[in-house]
């Protein structure tokens, strides 16, 4: 897991060949005006999901994992709280992994909580279980899905 602010994202572009285009999308001048939905960046290799959501609190947040995609979760407005635990420590699966949707859930206890304000992002790799929307109140997020292993 990585947590940082967008102005320092250049430090991480060497971590993956598609991170540069992902962070460029987050720097768009019209980002706040985008309607919720999916936006292509590089076909199925990199795309953005814009959403307006309500936090559900730490008690209702569920750890999730992905195998195909890395998540870059960027907070455009509001405050996001995201839980984290290494996947290697997760033992309580909620029904297995759905490969078609690239998601699996765990009932394990979150190990670390991160609070992200506007302009902040968190990167979750396939080895990171994460529990998004664990805060309270409205949050506008852009989740960039980056195909792992590229």
* CATH, residue 70: 2.60.120.370
Cα 3 from chain centroid (whole Å): 11
The structure's pTM equals 0.95
Q: Which domain holds residue 15?
A: 2-147
Rounded (10°) CA dihedral 37, 42, 45, 47: -20
**Could you tell me the mean pLDDT of each successive run of 10 residues in the chain, 150 residues long?**
96 94 96 96 96 95 96 97 97 93 96 97 97 96 92
Question: Interior CA angle at 36 toward 30 and 37, to 5°?
Answer: 105
Note the pLDDT of residue 149. Answer: 80
Q: What is the pLDDT of residue 25?
A: 98
> Can you give the pLDDT at residue 17?
92
The pLDDT of residue 150: 65
Total number of domains constituting the chain? 1
DSSP-assigned letter for residue 62:
-
């Amino acid at each position: 897991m990585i947590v940082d602010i967008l102005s320092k994202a250049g430090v991480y572009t060497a971590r993956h060949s598609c991170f540069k285009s992902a962070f460029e999308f987050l720097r768009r001048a019209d980002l706040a005006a985008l309607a919720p939905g999916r936006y292509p960046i590089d076909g199925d290799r990199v795309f953005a999901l814009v959403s307006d959501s309500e936090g559900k609190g730490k008690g209702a947040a569920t750890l999730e994992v992905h195998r195909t995609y890395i998540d870059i979760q960027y907070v455009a407005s509001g405050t996001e709280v995201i839980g984290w635990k290494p996947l290697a420590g997760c033992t309580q699966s909620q029904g297995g992994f759905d490969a078609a949707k690239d998601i699996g859930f765990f009932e394990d206890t979150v190990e670390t909580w991160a609070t992200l304000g506007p302009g902040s992002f968190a990167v979750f790799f396939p080895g990171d279980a994460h529990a998004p929307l664990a805060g309270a109140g409205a949050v506008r997020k852009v989740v960039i899905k980056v195909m792992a292993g590229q």
